[in-house]
């Protein structure tokens, strides 16, 4: 492998000119240098902390946090810092996952719209992409938060939709489904429908293989499942769910399902921004499929849908997936900008913890490790998917 | 639509399209496109109507001219503003000379910049300010005519650009207490400085890291890979926080001010992304190139310097411009740390009791500035890409 | 071989850059300030009365005046001070990292801050308490009635923690929203994002003025905590903390003895303590590492405590309350200048 190494050694090379020795030597020197650097920094840090009268440990995580967190899983100020941190992680995951779904939908919609044969649609999509891509996300989030969401009417003048959903400057309140005793029975129906669907799916698959023809494998399974689920809903005594409507009680709306303004602004900002990037990814992915491929597909008589599903997408998806992954990761990382508007995600909770405890370094380390774990698992999963797709298409 | 008559004679008559045919082909070619067009028109009508009524009747735009200086330079000491003009003039001379020497995209850029200065000079600023703007045009125009055609100067101008960077920093800061403290740098000026420093300094760092990541020595490869992947795995804001709080803890005794710390943090962050961009270029170079270089007896440094990097860097110029755009937008995060960059100014104007409730106006104005910069950069990058494509073909 | 040389070259460079950093400075901030010829003081920029930028771009306020007094005492010139605006969450990091020399930003003295946050406190300059502001038309007079309300607080403040304590003690649930910046807190309150704001009463009084209709809002006559506000220095620099503390005592002392900005340079007395204070005898300045006339400089720059208070806080309608000299039944008590 090492091309510099002479294949025949006619005379003995002094060790200071022997590449094999030098390789090892340089690496040792290099590692020594890196370790020295880190050691100096570590020593400086300890000295600095000693000067401030601080110690470096994680014991504070067991202490009572004392501050409140406005959103997320049930949490009391009397819970520990560790619990508070966990709430932050879950909030980050929540906004990232919902954001990824919304951004993907927006991106697909506008990415395909940019390739539309309709000039107006194409232009609108292009304007959307350029406008949202070229303005900092932080600015967009602040805009949505202060100039749009905060300008909504006050609680008592809420915009009401069908008397069930309410929009005001404290959030969006929607009716929430509440499970009743009938839910169990309906779940049985669902289970039965699922089994039926699986059977139909396999049957259809076999049949298509026998015929050696392309087709939609879930063509029978999907409708069957929906029909069973639908019939089950009506056959269940009572109804599996009732709707819990939000009601104005005292200061605020209670009950139902609600999004806070911070969450809404962050979600809109993240989805619109990342959506613009995903639109570009989708567009360039589809455009990368050579035009001849489509023409050939038409020539062999494939319908428009079949062409997209059988010819264009299988070739476009492997091109799209890697940049799409990095957009997803960007979205998750960008959710940290919520710190500017006060949505209690990881960085926001972390900075509050840092403030109340003064333990800047451990808290930083925890926040960064959490993000690293998220990033590395996502990219590992996507790499695996990517390899599989490439392998299937080989 | 340009349709010279000469061509019309050559083309078959049924190929010429009037506006009517165009509308039919592009808006109503199928039934669902017709439907989409109608829906889009209704949508556009309401959006535009709402936006235009707001813009011309409800919005209070006087907040913008009243704070224009704040947006441009933040709280930069007012009696030291000549420093900024000096910098603009230095850059103007360089741009003018470059435009004369290279023409093309640089020429168009110089033209656009002069146009912008001319517009500013015509706006009702103070007389002195307008004079400065006219001067700025002169500093672009004169060197342009001097530099035109003198290709021998190219090397010197490149050196000038490199040298201009530290010179500009020194001019902006001045010396000691008589200069302008970096804590007074602000507005668009600070945004630009942070972005330019970030990209200029992170470029060599990125090239170095990319080469290390390609090294065949495992220790070097691992260290550089760990650095790159760690930085890319965490959000910029955590790195900025870290730069703000941890640099002084890790390096006590070194009096580094906040702006400088943010520059460090941004460079540290940007370096990792730059490394990945450069690595993309390195990987695209055929192995044969390196082997050929070795065959003619070039050593590692010479191979890298003359064979690998020129090809690799040329192919990644568009990605690097893309990263510059991203970095330019990302500098807005320093407003969370407490620096008063363009977005920071916007926030503080909104917080001013005199301008309560004008969030939409102020943020839209800031957004337009960011947009103009980012869009023109991405336009420039497309042009470069196109030019490079041509260049490559000629080489083949 | 050169390949490896090339790759390690930058590393060697990096190390040689870092090595001088090993030198750990143990110099007092007092010496640094003198060397620099400028004091860097962390203040609030959004709190009229305590710290804000006025229309002419000048810093103004109670806390700002204390910054000027320290600059005058140390450097002999009240203008040799750079004010660094800080948000609540940023203030302790700024202090710990040496970004600022002294923090005078309506900061409450608590045990945790004194120990865990690497801070040392000078005597409080303002004794405050946490209160609640809400709309008059809600007709609320007691905290119990706040159950279910949305309450706004600033991040990184003691008020955030006190609110949680109080609601827990009362057994009521409130929804608290935490704002990073004071400005956004009050804007959001004005827009109806929250029903109640809780903060130091002085802050509530000060910020009520800049709401759209100040008269629509009341501050409840309830105080849920003690908030002694004062200047803060970094932990472990006793020399510097002494200087800041004694500048504060100097303003108390001056008010006790009727020394004002106007008469400080012509004050005639036979009282030996006042003579020492004014630098006419003794060497208390040297003991602090300051010039002989440091206290005179400080008072000449901003006046005594009463003058500072009347200039900045009285116009807001803040009563002196307990912030009076002990001789008048207040809490301000200067330690002997001996």
Task: Check whether residue B228 and residue B294 sit in a common domain.
Answer: yes
Separation between Cα atoms, residue A130 and residue A276, nearest integer Å: 8
**Other CB atoms within 10 Å distance of the CB of residue B131:** 12
Residue where one domain finishes, among candidates B154, B180, B206: B180
Q: SS3 of A343, please?
A: coil
How high is the ipTM of this complex?
0.87
Residues B108 and B236 in one domain: no
Pairwise CA distance, residues B27 & A230, whole Å: 40
Would you place residue B396 in the very low, low, confident or very high pLDDT band (cuts 50, 70, 90)? very low
Mean pLDDT of the region C164-187: 85
Cα distance from A90 to chain C (closest Cα, Å)? 18
Residues B273, B166: one domain?
no
CA distance C177 to chain A (A): 6
Top residue of C12, C96, C105 to mutate, by most chain A CBs within 10 Å, is C96
Mean pLDDT of A345-370: 88
User: Considering CB atoms only, which of C7, C25, C210 is closest to B353?
Assistant: C210
Which one of C21, C92, C193 has the shortest CB-CB distance to A170?
A: C193
CA distance B146 to B97: 7
Q: How many CA atoms lie within 13 A of A247 on its CB side?
A: 6
Q: B218 with B367, same domain? A: yes
Residue B56 lies in a domain: no
Three state DSSP letters for B285-334: CCHHHHHHHHHCCCCHHHHHHHHHHHHHHHHCHHHHHHHHHHHHHHHHHH
C152, C189 contact by CB (below 8 A)? yes
B148 and B176 share a domain? yes
Q: What is the CATH number of the domain that holds B345?
A: 1.10.3720.10
Same domain, B149 and B191: no
A336 close to C (CB below 8 A) = no
B235 at A interface, C-beta within 8 A = yes
Show the domains of chain C with their CATH numbers.
30-127+229-328 (3.40.190.10), 130-225 (3.40.190.10)
d(CA C201, CA C191): 21
Distance (Å) from the C-alpha of residue B266 to the closest C-alpha of chain C?
18
> Smallest CA–CA separation between C261 and chain A, in Å?
37
Q: Which residues of B touch C7 (CB under 8 A)?
A: 211-212, 215, 217, 220
Q: Is C165 on the interface with A (CB under 8 A)?
A: yes
Q: The domain containing residue B143 runs over which residues? A: 80-180
Q: Is B332 on the interface with A (CB under 8 A)?
A: yes
Least confident of A281-295, B359-373, C46-60, C161-175: C46-60
Average pLDDT of span B217-237: 91
- Report the gap between the CA of C29 and the closest CA in chain B (Å): 11
Domain ranges of chain A: 15-52, 81-175+245-392
CATH of A81-175+245-392, one of 1.10.3720.10, 3.40.50.150, 3.40.190.10, 3.50.50.60: 1.10.3720.10
Least confident of A244-258, B70-84, B314-328, C248-262: A244-258
Ranges A15-29, A358-372, C303-317: which has the least confidence: A15-29
Residue C162 has pLDDT above 80, yes or no: yes
**Strand-strand pairing, C232-234 and C150-154:** unpaired
A4 burial type by CB count under 10 A (0-12 exposed, 13-18 middle, 19+ buried)? middle
Residue C298 has pLDDT above 50, yes or no: yes
pLDDT of residue A368: 94
Is residue B246 within 8 angstroms of chain A, CB to CB? yes
Q: Which residues of C touch A75 (CB under 8 A)?
A: none
Residues B141 and B286 in one domain: no
Q: Residue C183: which of B211, B212, B351 has the nearest Cβ?
A: B351
Cβ contacts (< 8 Å) between C23 and chain B: which residues? 253
Would B54 be classed as within a structural domain? no
Percent of chain A residues topping a pLDDT of 90: 25
Axis-axis angle for helices A119-133, A81-113 (nearest 10): 150
**Looking at residue A1, what is its pLDDT?**
43
* Domain end position, chosen among B180, B214, B238: B180
Residue C7 has pLDDT above 60, yes or no: no
User: Do the chains contact at A355 and C92, CB–CB below 8 Å?
Assistant: yes
| Residues B226 and B97 occupy one common structural domain | no
Determine the residue of chain A that is closest to C25 in CA distance.
A48
Residue C17, token pair as written in the block: 């850059």
State which of B106-110, B125-129, C88-92, C310-314 shows the largest mean pLDDT: C310-314
Q: How confident is the model at residue C295 (pLDDT cuts 50, 70, 90)?
A: very high
Structural domains counted in chain B: 2
Q: Which residue has the higher pLDDT, C19 or B311?
A: B311
**Cβ–Cβ of A360/B329 closer than 8 Å?**
no
Which of the four pLDDT bands, split at 50, 70 and 90, describes residue B72?
Answer: confident
Q: Are C235 and A344 an interchain contact pair (Cβ–Cβ within 8 Å)?
A: no
**Which of A5-19, B293-307, C202-216, C247-261 ranks highest by mean pLDDT?**
C247-261
Q: How far is residue A294's CA from residue A298's CA, in Å, rounded to a whole number?
A: 6
Q: Which of A327-336, B43-52, B103-112 has the lowest mean pLDDT?
A: B103-112
- Predicted local confidence at residue B303, as pLDDT: 86
B188 and B145 in one domain? no
**Among candidate residues A77, A84, A130, the one with its CA nearest the CA of residue A272:** A130
Q: Taking the model in full, what pTM does it have?
A: 0.85
C172 touches chain A (CB under 8 A): no
**What's the mean per-residue pLDDT of chain C?**
86
Q: Greater confidence, A288 or C325?
A: C325
Q: What is the mean pLDDT of chain B?
A: 84
């Amino acid at each position: 492998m090492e091309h510099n190494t002479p294949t025949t050694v006619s005379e003995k090379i002094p060790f200071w000119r022997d590449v094999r020795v030098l390789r090892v030597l340089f690496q040792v020197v290099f590692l020594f240098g890196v370790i020295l650097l880190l050691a100096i920094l570590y020593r400086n840090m300890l000295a600095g902390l000693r000067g401030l009268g601080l110690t470096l440990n994680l014991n504070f995580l067991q202490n009572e946090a004392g501050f409140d967190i406005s959103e997320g899983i049930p949490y009391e100020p009397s819970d520990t810092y560790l619990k508070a941190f966990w709430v932050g992680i879950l909030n980050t995951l929540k906004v990232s996952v919902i954001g990824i779904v919304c951004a993907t939908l927006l991106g697909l919609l506008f990415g395909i719209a940019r390739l539309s044969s309709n000039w107006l649609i194409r232009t609108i999509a292009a304007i959307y992409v350029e406008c949202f891509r070229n303005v900092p996300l932080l600015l967009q989030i602040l805009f949505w938060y202060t100039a749009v969401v905060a300008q909504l009417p006050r609680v008592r003048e809420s915009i009401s939709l069908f008397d069930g959903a309410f929009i005001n400057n404290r959030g969006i309140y929607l009716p929430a489904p509440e499970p009743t005793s009938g839910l169990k029975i309906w779940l049985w129906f669902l289970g039965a429908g699922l089994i039926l669907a699986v059977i139909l799916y396999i049957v259809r698959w076999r049949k298509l293989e026998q015929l050696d023809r392309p087709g939609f494998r879930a063509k029978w399974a999907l409708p069957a499942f929906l029909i069973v689920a639908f019939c089950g809903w009506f056959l269940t005594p009572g109804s599996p769910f009732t709707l819990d409507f939000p009601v104005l009680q005292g200061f605020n709306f209670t009950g139902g399902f609600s999004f806070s303004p911070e969450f809404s602004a962050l979600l809109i900002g993240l989805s619109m921004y990342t959506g613009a990037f995903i639109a570009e990814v989708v567009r360039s992915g589809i455009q990368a499929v050579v035009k001849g491929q489509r023409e050939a597909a038409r020539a062999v008589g494939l319908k428009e849908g079949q062409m997209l599903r059988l010819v264009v997408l299988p070739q476009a998806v492997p091109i799209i997936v890697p940049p799409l992954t990095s957009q997803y990761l960007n979205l998750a990382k960008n959710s940290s900008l919520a710190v500017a508007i006060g949505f209690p995600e990881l960085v926001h909770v972390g900075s509050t913890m840092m403030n109340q405890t003064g333990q800047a370094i451990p808290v930083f380390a925890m926040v960064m490790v959490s993000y690293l774990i998220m990033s590395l698992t996502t990219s590992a999963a996507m790499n695996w998917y990517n390899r599989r797709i490439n392998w299937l298409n080989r | 639509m340009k349709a010279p008559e000469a061509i019309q004679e050559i083309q078959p008559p049924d190929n010429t399209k009037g506006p009517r045919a165009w509308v039919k082909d592009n808006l109503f070619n199928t039934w669902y496109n017709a439907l989409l067009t109608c829906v889009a028109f209704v949508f556009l009508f309401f959006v535009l109507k709402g936006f235009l009524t707001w813009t011309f009747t409800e919005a209070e735009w006087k907040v913008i001219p009243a704070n224009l200086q704040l947006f441009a330079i933040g709280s930069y000491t007012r009696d030291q503003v000549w420093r900024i003009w000096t910098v603009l003039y230095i850059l103007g001379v360089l741009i003018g000379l470059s435009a004369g020497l290279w023409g093309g995209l640089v020429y168009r850029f110089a033209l656009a910049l002069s146009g912008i200065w001319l517009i500013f000079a015509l706006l009702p600023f103070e007389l002195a300010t307008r004079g400065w703007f006219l001067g700025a045009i002169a500093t672009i125009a004169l060197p342009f005519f001097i530099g035109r055609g003198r290709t021998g100067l190219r090397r010197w101008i490149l050196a000038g650009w490199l040298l201009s960077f530290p010179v500009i920093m020194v001019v902006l800061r001045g010396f000691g207490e008589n200069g302008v403290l970096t804590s007074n740098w602000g507005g668009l000026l600070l945004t630009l400085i942070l972005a330019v420093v970030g990209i200029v300094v992170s470029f060599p760092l990125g090239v170095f890291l990319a080469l290390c990541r390609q090294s065949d020595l495992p220790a070097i490869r691992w260290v550089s890979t760990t650095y790159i992947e760690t930085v890319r795995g965490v959000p910029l804001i955590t790195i900025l926080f870290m730069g703000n709080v941890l640099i002084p803890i890790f390096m006590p005794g070194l009096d580094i001010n906040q702006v400088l710390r943010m520059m460090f943090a941004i460079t540290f962050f940007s370096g990792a992304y730059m490394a990945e961009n450069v690595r993309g270029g390195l990987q695209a170079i055929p192995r044969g190139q390196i082997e050929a270089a070795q065959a003619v007896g070039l050593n590692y440094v010479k191979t890298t310097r003359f064979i690998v990097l020129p090809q690799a860097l040329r192919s990644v110029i568009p990605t690097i411009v893309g990263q510059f755009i991203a970095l330019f937008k990302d500098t807005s995060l320093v407003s969370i740390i407490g620096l008063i960059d363009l977005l920071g100014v916007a926030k503080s104007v909104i917080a001013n009791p005199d301008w309560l409730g004008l969030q939409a106006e102020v943020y839209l104005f800031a957004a337009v500035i960011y947009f103009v910069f980012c869009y023109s950069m991405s336009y420039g990058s497309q042009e470069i890409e196109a030019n490079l494509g041509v260049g490559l073909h000629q080489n083949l | 071989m050169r390949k490896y040389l090339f790759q390690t070259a930058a590393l060697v460079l990096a190390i040689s850059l870092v090595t001088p950093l090993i030198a750990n400075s143990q110099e007092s901030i007092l010496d640094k300030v003198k060397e620099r010829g400028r004091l860097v003081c962390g203040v609030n920029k959004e709190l009229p009365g305590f710290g804000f930028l006025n229309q002419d771009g000048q810093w103004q306020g109670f806390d700002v005046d204390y910054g000027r007094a320290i600059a005058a005492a140390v450097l002999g010139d009240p203008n040799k001070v750079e004010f660094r605006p800080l948000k609540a969450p940023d203030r302790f990091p700024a202090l710990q990292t040496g970004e600022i020399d002294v923090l005078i930003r309506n900061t409450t003295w608590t045990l945790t801050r004194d120990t865990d946050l690497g801070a040392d406190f000078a005597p409080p300059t303002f004794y405050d308490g946490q209160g609640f502001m809400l709309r008059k038309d809600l007709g609320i007079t007691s905290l119990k009635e706040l159950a279910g309300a949305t309450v706004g607080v600033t991040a990184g403040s003691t008020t955030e923690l006190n609110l949680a304590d109080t609601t827990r003690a009362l057994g009521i649930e409130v929804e608290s929203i935490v704002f990073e910046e004071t400005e956004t807190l009050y804007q959001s309150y004005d827009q109806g994002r929250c029903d109640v704001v809780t903060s130091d009463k002085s802050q509530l009084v000060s910020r009520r003025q800049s709401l759209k209709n100040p008269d629509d809002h009341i501050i409840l006559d309830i105080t849920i905590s003690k908030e002694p506000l004062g200047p803060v220095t970094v932990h472990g620099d006793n020399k510097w903390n002494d200087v800041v503390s004694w500048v504060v005592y100097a303003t108390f002392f001056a008010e006790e003895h009727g020394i004002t900005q106007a008469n400080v340079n012509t004050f005639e007395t036979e009282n030996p303590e006042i003579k020492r204070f004014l630098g006419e005898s003794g060497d208390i300045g040297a003991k602090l590492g300051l010039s002989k006339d440091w206290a005179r400089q400080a008072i000449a720059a901003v006046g005594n405590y009463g003058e500072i208070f009347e200039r900045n806080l009285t116009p807001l309608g803040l009563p002196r309350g307990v912030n009076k000299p002990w001789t008048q039944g207040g809490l301000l008590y200067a330690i002997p200048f001996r």
